[in-house]
Amino acid sequence: GPILGVLFSAKADVAIAAPVLSIMSVGSFFLCASSLTSTAMQALGRAEIPVMTMIAGAAVKIIANFLLISIPGVELNGAAVGTDLCYITITVLNLIILAKLIGFKPGFKDSYLKPLVSACVMGAVVFPLYSLLTRPFNVYISLAVSILIGITVYFVLLIKTGGISRQDILLIPGGEKIAGKLFK
């Protein structure tokens, strides 16, 4: 990637890191979800449960790393897959346990589908936009404009699809003013 190219000058390092970070980007969603679900269990007074699910996730990561890193051509990418599997395991276990503890079951459409569709549309806008912008502008301007437009597209799509509600906006500081402007 372009972001890595801006951050690091060694093209060989960028060539190694870009596919690994692309694989790990899948796990970023699950990292966030595992953090939220672990915090919910701690708030319920069950701090021992996230520790156990993290141990299970770590075990999955160790096994995946052991199996994948040794495969020629997979190597470092296998470690990234192991990290993704770790956070997926933690999140799934936490959700199962939260469902049993308090009956919490996130709706697939609102919790997963709307953000996924918004992210895919954002990607479909940003990738070609970046390519077009690099012709007349340098990489820094192209990247900055693409990122800002990507954030805007994602946020607007979440609002339009109902992925973010007025009630969600009201939970943040200054939410009353923001919600008044976004939800007219």
pLDDT confidence of residue 1 = 65
Per-residue pLDDT of the chain (184 residues; tens, 9 = 90+): 677 777 777 777 788 888 888 899 888 989 999 999 999 999 999 999 999 999 999 999 999 999 999 999 898 999 999 999 999 999 999 999 999 999 888 888 887 888 889 999 999 999 999 999 999 998 889 999 999 999 999 999 999 998 888 898 999 998 899 888 888 7
CA 84 centroid distance within chain:
11
User: In the chain, what is the greatest distance between 2 CA atoms, to the nearest angstrom?
Assistant: 57
Yes or no: say if 59 and 119 are a contact pair by the CB < 8 Å rule.
no
pLDDT confidence of residue 63 = 97
pTM of the model: 0.76
> Other CB atoms closer than 10 Å to residue 107's CB: what's the count?
9
Q: What angle do CA 135, 139, 145 make, to 5 degrees?
A: 90
Nearest one of 154, 179, 182 to 169, comparing CA atoms: 179
Q: What is the DSSP track for 75-108?
A: HHHHHHHHHHHHHHHHHHHHHHHHHHHH-----H
Yes or no: say if 86 and 60 are a contact pair by the CB < 8 Å rule.
yes
